[in-house]
Amino acid sequence: MRRALVIARKEATSFFRSWSGTLIFAFFFLIAGIFFSLLLLSYAKLSFEASKTAYQGLEGIGLTRFVFGSFFLNFSMVLIFLVPILSMRTFSEERKTRTLELLFTYPLSDFDIVWGKFLGLVWIMEALLLPTLVYLGLIHWMGLTFDWGPVLMGYLGFWLLANAYLSLGLFVSSLTDSQVTSAMISFACLMVFWMFEWVAGVADGTVGQVFVALSPLSRYRNFTLGILDLSDIVYFCFFHFFFLFLTMRSVETRNWKG
């Protein structure tokens, strides 16, 4: 397991050292800022209009729900674009540059390599997420009060969703030595998962229920609403392990594919 940490550290460092890494980092921070600003402005506008018309309904929604709830829900869309770009490097790039061959001859198990790479991605995602706390601080500094509970729940949900997407991206990356192909396929898969909720909206009965149960987005929605359901956490854990397991199998194919 300690070897996995060495790999993870290497993955994360080389990401932040690259130009694309710095760029992604900046963009993520910027887009999160724009999301927050727009949501705050529309909240301000709404509450101003509500005070004019003496409308009382807005209190039930509140800042936490309105700004943070919408933020996390909408911002998850960014993951569909971001994750393929992050994960395409892991195996595809190393296959292309043939550094993977050497990695397999080091005293490491496949488990170390797969987990190390996954952990590296998780760390990168966490590092991207961390600066968004600045916006929280800003909102707090502006004198607006919000509930920490649902906000933390939002972060937890976002983290779980991001990890789930990353595990899928990691698996796709292990299938091909082309980064572009890897990104495209990951993107397509994430889109399909994203559309599961729509299917649930169209199909009735059991089919609809199955799609809701399998949809990462409807699981994630609970977190943005501040609802902590054990089954959602179990779902995401299963999602991670399933794709990491597939990645392990995919890495093993070198034994018979060469």
Cα separation, 84 vs 186, in Å, equals 5
Choose between 57 and 107: whose C-beta lies nearer to another protein: 107
Shortest reach from residue 105's CB to another protein, in Å? 4
| The amino acid at 155 | Y
Choose between 206 and 255: whose C-beta lies nearer to another protein: 255
Only one residue has tokens 């399933």, namely 242
Shortest reach from residue 95's CB to another protein, in Å? 10
Query: Counting runs of H as helices and runs of E as strands, what totals does the chain give?
Result: 14, 0
Contact predicate 169/114, CB 8 Å: no
Choose between 93 and 147: whose C-beta lies nearer to another protein: 93
198: its two tokens: 């729509």
Choose between 95 and 240: whose C-beta lies nearer to another protein: 95
Choose between 95 and 219: whose C-beta lies nearer to another protein: 95
Shortest reach from residue 107's CB to another protein, in Å? 4
Nearest one of 181, 179, 158 to 94, comparing CA atoms: 179
Residues 6+ apart with CB under 8 A from 1: 112, 115
Nearest one of 255, 15, 253 to 126, comparing CA atoms: 15
Choose between 2 and 52: whose C-beta lies nearer to another protein: 2
Shortest reach from residue 126's CB to another protein, in Å? 21
107: its two tokens: 């005293």
Shortest reach from residue 94's CB to another protein, in Å? 9
Choose between 49 and 252: whose C-beta lies nearer to another protein: 252
Shortest reach from residue 185's CB to another protein, in Å? 24
Q: Give Cα 252 to chain centroid, integer Å.
A: 26
Residues that bind another protein (CB under 8 A): 3, 6-7, 10, 14, 17-18, 97-99, 101-102, 104-109, 254-258
Residues 6+ apart with CB under 8 A from 111: 4, 248
Shortest reach from residue 115's CB to another protein, in Å? 14
Cα separation, 243 vs 241, in Å, equals 6
Contact predicate 84/186, CB 8 Å: yes
Give the sign of the dihedral formed by CA 79, CA 159, CA 116, CA 192. Answer: negative
